[in-house]
Amino acid sequence: MAKADVTVVLAHGAWADGSSWARVITALETEAIKVQAAPLPLTSLADDVAALSRSLDRTEGPVVLAGHAYAGAVIALARRARVKALVYIAALAPDEGEKVADVFYRLAPHPKAPKLAPDDNGLIWLPEDAFATAFAQNASAEDHAVLAAVQRPISLNCITVPAGRPLWKDVPSWYLIAEQDRMIVPETQRFMAERMKATIRTQAVDHTPSVTAPAAVADVIREAVRSVSGN
């Protein structure tokens, strides 16, 4: 069991909120691992980093940050103090000077990937049917309904600004590659993970394994926690 002094802070991606981590949270807390889910506004990359910092301010001791999808860019810009490891769950990892959109659109999309466009407010919503066809195709109909109902749109300001120096250049990182991902091409995930020199774990899971394969996600996070705690 991991030491209780390590806190795991989870960051949700686009079209999701903290509830997307529910099954991972319960899996980790059965082992007495402290967990928080950071609420991100998805209004700009800077706003999301600031929101994550506020969540970090509520913790004490060493921290393991885990990000899903877009939130990979957010956790990489967190303050260095006390962050001892990063965990990427099918997540985007732009390098310094790159935009989130640069890595998201690096390769041709999956045939079932949704066509995305901003509305009049500059916000991108995921079409409701995309939760079943691309976002979490392995989830139940009940999960699809919840994911669609609680989705948060992402602003163009999150994906069109260059990122700063990423924290993965300075702290150990883990990366769960989702082989069945229809939102972020698995080959792009591997490219980013190898560029980061991350510890790579590969699973036959969809884009949102926190919902559809929480045990696999918890295993990777647990590995990072044990590395930090020495257990």
Does residue 230 or residue 42 have the better pLDDT? 42
Q: Is 190 left (phi over 0), alpha (psi -120 to 50) or beta?
A: alpha
Distance between CA atoms of residues 146 and 128, nearest Å: 11
Give the mean pLDDT of 23-39: 95
For 124-133, the pLDDT digits (tens) are: 999 999 999 9
pLDDT of 81 over the 90 cut: no
Structure tokens at 77: 């810009």
For 144-147, the CB contacts below 8 A with 24+ separation are 146/19, 147/15, 147/16, 147/20, 147/208, 147/211
- Written as one letter, the residue type at 87 is V
Residue 111: the pLDDT is 92
CA distance 51 to 39: 7
pLDDT in tens, 43-65: 999 999 999 999 999 999 999 99
User: pLDDT confidence of 231, banded at 50, 70, 90?
Assistant: low
Q: Grade residue 229 by pLDDT with cuts at 50, 70 and 90.
A: confident
How far CA 205 is from CA of 19, 121, 190, 201, in Å, comes to: 19, 33, 14, 11
Query: Closest Cα partner for 153 from 10, 12, 16, 11?
Result: 16
Nearest to 106 by CA among 37, 187, 181: 187
The letter for the amino acid at 3 is K
How far apart are the C-alpha atoms of 13 and 151, rounded to whole Å?
A: 10
pLDDT of residue 4: 57
- % the chain with pLDDT above 70: 98
Q: Residue 38: beta bridge partners?
A: 11
- What's the CA gap between 224 and 218, in Å, rounded? 10
> Quick one: pLDDT at residue 1?
44
Give the chain's domains with CATH numbers: 7-111+157-229 (3.40.50.1820)
96 touches 215 (CB < 8 A): no
Give residue 96's pLDDT band: very low, low, confident or very high (50, 70, 90): very high
Phi, psi of 195 (to 5 degrees): -65, -35
pLDDT, one tens digit per residue, over 155-198 is 999 999 999 999 999 999 999 999 999 999 999 999 999 999 99
What letter would DSSP give residue 19? G
Among 141, 113, 129, 115, which Cα is nearest to 211's? 141
